């Protein structure tokens, strides 16, 4: 399994304020991008390429945690959503992006991290704050 955590300095209350999760992308890329992004995530989850996806926050940092079946699946998602362009655009808008990427042995390694978590894609728990 391959774990990717992306940090973005969106500001506080990212999980509870759903407008922060979509407004930047809707304003900059439009509704078609946002719909494609959501469909792509769901498709890759259904295909078993994304095993788990969640949002976390700490202070002014929002974190996206995604567990992929392997590095190729991460590369596929990045290609399908034009992730390099998105990251470059966010940097141009003044946001800071940090990434951690590593192999893991179990999703428990991600579930047991200390920050508040909003699970987006996982069997039986999608859309729940823990």
Read off the pTM.
0.83
pLDDT tens per residue across all 130 residues of the chain: 999 999 988 877 766 776 766 677 777 787 888 788 888 998 999 999 999 988 888 888 888 899 999 999 999 999 999 999 889 988 998 889 999 999 999 988 888 877 767 777 665 445 544 4
Q: What is the pLDDT of residue 130?
A: 45
Quote the CA–CA distance of 119 and 117 in Å, as a whole number. 6
Nearest to 100 by CA among 22, 8, 13: 8
Q: What is the pLDDT of residue 69?
A: 97
Architecture of the domain defined by 2-129: 2-Layer Sandwich (3.30)
Domain boundaries, the chain: 2-129
């Amino acid at each position: 399994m391959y774990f990717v955590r992306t940090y973005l300095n969106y500001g506080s209350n990212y999980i509870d304020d759903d407008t922060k999760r979509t407004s930047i992308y809707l304003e900059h890329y439009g509704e078609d991008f946002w719909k494609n992004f959501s469909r792509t995530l769901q498709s890759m989850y259904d295909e078993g390429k994304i095993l788990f996806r969640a949002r976390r926050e700490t202070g002014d940092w929002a974190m996206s945690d995604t567990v992929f079946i392997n590095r190729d699946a991460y590369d596929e998602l990045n290609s399908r959503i034009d992730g390099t362009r998105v990251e470059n655009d966010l940097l141009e808008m003044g946001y800071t992006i940090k990434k951690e990427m590593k192999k893991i042995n179990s999703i428990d390694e991600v579930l047991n991290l200390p920050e508040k978590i909003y699970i987006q894609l996982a069997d039986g728990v999608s859309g729940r704050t823990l």
